[in-house]
């Protein structure tokens, strides 16, 4: 049996609730983000890319397809690094890959000025000491090297998502969702790293540690929620640090409350009745030559 942890569990099954169709849609959306990150990185053939928080290797393997000479896959999850090794073996690119178990704010195993590009996708949202992470990115880059970073800005739309997860429900159902949200605060309190920054902080941190020039594109959107299967929603978690919706209901609601909530929420989920609000930032920063 493959090794596992909360990060691997989430990417393998809990992100999509075990629904292959929903996972395929998720990967389509993530591919758009990957392409933007790699475009901003401007990787040249033969260069070395360090993919911090590589997950299942979406960015790293994309860089190899673009001609990167070597990709260093870095993650806190040994299980996800195992998944990347397996994918590299299947693709016949193992000789162009290196795998390092490390945190974004402590890139031990990666030498000073040893890579040309550093990338992240939704990594700093889990890092408490973001300035230290930026200093590590700066340290490992060669002069003239680039950091290309994507991060969700969870502060935008936060209150709306905490209200009803964006779904068009009210009355007793909305109150019960509020009860679930309150129960989840012990997993992610108000000062969680996921909520303690915005795009301006990212820009300021990049400048503070010595990157120049720095550019950042910020996008905020309010878009219709897409219909999805109830089972997929029920058994998925918004991020690796919190329970699935089903687990949260089991822990926080009585059987009668659960019945009321499901009767209201399930049709909204399956019909896509609601609005999703989210902000995102793409940052490109250069270590001066």
Q: Is residue 115 part of a domain?
A: yes
Q: What are the tokens at 191?
A: 């000062």
Q: Is residue 1 part of a domain?
A: no
Determine the pLDDT at residue 8: 97
On the question of pLDDT at 280 being above 70, the answer is yes
- Tell me the mean pLDDT in the region 7-11: 97
On the question of pLDDT at 95 being above 70, the answer is yes
Q: What are the tokens at 96?
A: 């162009």
Determine the Cα–Cα distance for residues 30 and 11; give it in Å rounded to an integer. Answer: 12
Domain holding 24, by residue range, is 6-286
**Residue partners of 159: CB distance under 8 A and separation at least 6:** none
The pLDDT tens digits for 202-236 are: 999 999 999 999 999 999 999 999 999 999 999 99
Q: pTM of the prediction?
A: 0.95
Beta sheet of 115-121, edge-to-edge order = 97-101, 70-75, 48-52, 115-121, 141-153, 275-286, 214-224
The pLDDT tens digits for 243-265 are: 999 999 999 999 999 999 999 99
CATH number, domain with residue 123: 3.40.50.150
How many domains does one find in the chain? 1
On the question of pLDDT at 68 being above 90, the answer is yes
Determine the pLDDT at residue 185: 86
Percent of the chain with pLDDT over 90: 92
Q: Is residue 111 part of a domain?
A: yes
Q: Is residue 23 part of a domain?
A: yes
Q: Is residue 32 part of a domain?
A: yes
Q: Is residue 34 part of a domain?
A: yes
């Amino acid at each position: 049996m493959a090794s596992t942890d909360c990060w691997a569990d989430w990417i393998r099954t809990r992100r999509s609730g075990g629904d292959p169709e929903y996972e395929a849609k998720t990967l389509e959306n993530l591919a758009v983000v990957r392409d933007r990150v790699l475009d901003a990185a401007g990787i040249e053939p033969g260069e070395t890319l360090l993919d911090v928080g590589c997950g299942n290797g979406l960015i790293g393997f994309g860089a190899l397809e673009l001609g990167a000479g070597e990709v260093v896959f870095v993650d806190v999850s040994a299980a996800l690094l195992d998944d990347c090794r397996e994918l590299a073996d299947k693709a016949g690119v193992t000789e162009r890959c290196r795998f390092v178990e490390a945190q974004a704010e402590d890139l031990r195993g990666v030498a000073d000025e040893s890579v040309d590009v550093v990338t992240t996708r939704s990594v700093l949202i889990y890092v408490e000491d973001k300035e230290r992470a930026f200093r590590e990115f700066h340290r490992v880059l060669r002069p003239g090297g680039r950091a290309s970073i994507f991060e969700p800005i969870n502060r935008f739309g936060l209150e709306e998502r905490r209200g009803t997860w964006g779904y068009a429900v009210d009355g007793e159902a909305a109150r019960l969702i509020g009860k679930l949200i309150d129960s989840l605060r012990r997993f992610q309190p108000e000062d969680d790293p996921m909520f303690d920054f915005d795009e301006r902080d990212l820009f300021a941190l990049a400048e503070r540690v010595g990157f120049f020039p720095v550019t950042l594109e910020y996008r905020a959107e309010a878009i219709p929620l897409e219909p999805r299967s109830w089972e997929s929603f029920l058994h998925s978690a918004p991020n690796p640090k919190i329970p699935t919706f089903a687990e949260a209901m089991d822990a926080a609601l009585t059987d009668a409350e659960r019945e009321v909530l499901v009767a209201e929420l399930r049709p909204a989920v399956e019909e896509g009745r609601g609005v999703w609000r989210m902000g995102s930032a793409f940052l490109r920063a250069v270590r001066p030559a």
